[in-house]
Structure 1
Amino acid sequence: MTGSIKGLERFDSPTKGRSLRVTRAFKVGELIFSSQAYSYVLSLNERGCYCEFCFTRKEGLAKCGKCKKAFYCNVKCQKGDWAMHKLECSAMMAFRENWCPSETTRLVARILAKKKTQKERCVSEKIMLIGEMQSHVEDVDNEKREMNEADIAGLYRFYSKHLDLPDHKDLLTLLSQVSCNGFTIEDDELSHIGTAIYPDVALINHSCLPSVIVTYDGMSAEVRAVKDMKPGDEVLISYIDLLYPTDDRNNRLRESYYFTCDCQECKSKSKDKAKLKVRKRSDPIETDVINNMVRYARKAIREFRALKHTKNILLIIITWSLFELLEMCEHSLEEMGAVFDDSNIYMLHMMYQAMGVCGCMEDLDGAVRYGEKIVKPYSQLYPPNSLNVSSIYLKLGRIYMLLDKPSMGLNAFKKAMAIMEVAHGKDHLYLKELRKEMAQK
């Protein structure tokens, strides 16, 4: 029997299928609902920084006494996580440096373990069961099929001792469901912390003009309105980064979620001209030159995304030194800058990458230089209350403070806070930490 969430109802949309809408009015920043994770996993890169069980970020976490790899706030958290951690604990000791399942494999193993012990509907399945989530298993291309097969091989290699694995077909379906419905848990600067499954939140459809935003309190998902909503309005989130023009967004949606968006923004393409702005020149730039540069830019972005998908940032640094990465950014910016305006989204993408690399190199002046070029166009091109904008203000604020520019730092923090109070709620831990940060200056 389907459960319910106060103020919401599930319905069947004639164009989108299963959907969610509000049954009462909600104001901007108001919490529509929150959901505990059905299952979740902390990223290996964040071990030692966050508690594996509650995702609390703090220093002085205690190690698991057996594997010495997992970290917890206290004994209570360690005991709470044991049902899931035991899937990995002995395997990590046995395989040592050869223990290397993907994050998806780790999450799927935990889902299977939970399903085995689950006797009734989970609190994260009030309006949709995990088994109801869309899989699109029949739409998976060869590349994704190979990735799924590699994840299945990882399940057998690293988890078969503690799990009775279902048949191959069911595993492929579950992996496809996780791929289409998994949520990336992020921190205040949008850095990846872990991955989770929230069946009720997965019911929400996509729009490039979203009505809500999903943020995280520990491992719980919180859905808040980013525009005023009236009874009957559909609850809509964005599945993708909304900076990019219509064709790019829909290519991403087709690749990852197997549909094309038909929201008002995709129909009107009202922001595409601003997003694809070219340099003003006395001799107008020919269309062919612009199209060729767009192709060049998309290729450069694909190369960076491929690097980002490398399992460990250390491997990136070994393969590509930070200087080489920065040179790659600067070369792309020089090439594109002959045609594109600085506010063009492909220029902004490369500047964002360059800002990150400068940060890793502790080149604070370089990071600020790129950040200052990014922040105004971001504010104009992203929808209101976008975390992509608040995260840039946060990063800039923290760099200004390190450069001993407190007034500029506090100004950036205030702009970040205005967005975060809507997206996270005024009492969120990130806001409390930011207020402390500001009070110290």
Structure 2
Amino acid sequence: MPDAPANPLPAGGTSPHGDPDPGPSSPAPPHRGRALAVYLASAALVRTASGGAPVGLVSLTLDRYGHGGAALGGLLAALLTAPNLAGPWTARWLESARDTRPVLAGAFAAYGIALAGAALALGHVTTAAVAAVIVLGGLAGPLMTGGLSSRLALLVGGDDRDRRRAEGWDSATYGVGNIAGPGVVAGLAGTLGPLPAVLALGAAAVLAGLLLSLLPRGGATAADGESMPVRDALRVVLRTGPLRRVMAATTITSVSTGGILVVAVVLGGSLGHSPGAGATLGAVYGAGNLCGALLTGVFPSSGEPERRTVRLVAVNALAIGLCALSPGYVVALFAFALAGATSAVLFTATLAVRSVYSPPAARAQVFVTMACAKMASGAAGTALAGTLVGIGPRLALALGAIVVASAVLAAVVDRRVSAARGGPG
């Protein structure tokens, strides 16, 4: 297999100098607007289930076992996320499918059924059995994130601007899910109890699968059902310069952004001098994230996506630095909203890089591999923030800004070294 695909894009690619070559636009599928609406509704539902599941599981175990249930809830939430490491292998199921709708719809339904089943079984069967059900459901996780997003360009077709706009709306579904998921748990748990709340999340995932089955068959793979072995797909990511650099940059960046909500709670409490000040700071970050994603849907970006992504990493570093330097609570609110917005725009840009540089036979595996690397780094960042925040939230944010800035430096050095060697990267 060559080091990098000569033309990894179904339509277009890059020049030998790495400049964008838009190539011919793919024809817009019939009823594209309706198909995109169905896709976004399904994505928002399944990501609401995913965004609320950790909160729901912790709330449920606390309700069943008291304060001692917090550790079990945390364990179950971790087990729901851990199977993302198997993402490149589960993505290959999607890659090799002639029709991806049953694969995705089945994965969404399996996630919802496993989540609801584990909630119903908790306290009635052994903890090991509940954990096993959670792990099985978690295997669907990669298909709910990168796997689903990998189908979007094939579904939308059209020109580059249409695809970038659709990616912005897709990014917004993550923001919706991260806000609506915990909101559903908070609302239902306070009235009906945590069990109905978790069951509602499971039902949302099943409904997402049903909706997805209504999409046209145009979501099938561009490689006509062919799929690269996982090992070869991973080599593509590492040997294709833009994919390698963006994966490294976003992985490094996620160390900081993964823990920013933890830091927000502590910093907000010290600046606002009220119990809810920290939570409000975190909510503002989430609102900024959603607004940034919606902005990219309304005003899609243009230009070569890798360079744009690296610039946005630099902007995100500045935004996190502003959070560290905020002199008061009101300024911190604006700074965290800006950090959330830049994070969302950055994420949308990474979707464009994946879409442009992924070879058709490994599109899903590239999307999922990069998503899994980001999630693993984010989880490590959350744990690290919990340690650093004890020293001081401003120091934690300042170190986070430095870490994100180092990602820009790493990308620039990689590009220059590749150019000096005359390689395809």
Instruction: Report the TM-score, using the length of structure 1 for normalisation.
Output: 0.26
TM-score using structure 2 length:
0.27
Q: Which has the higher helix share?
A: 2
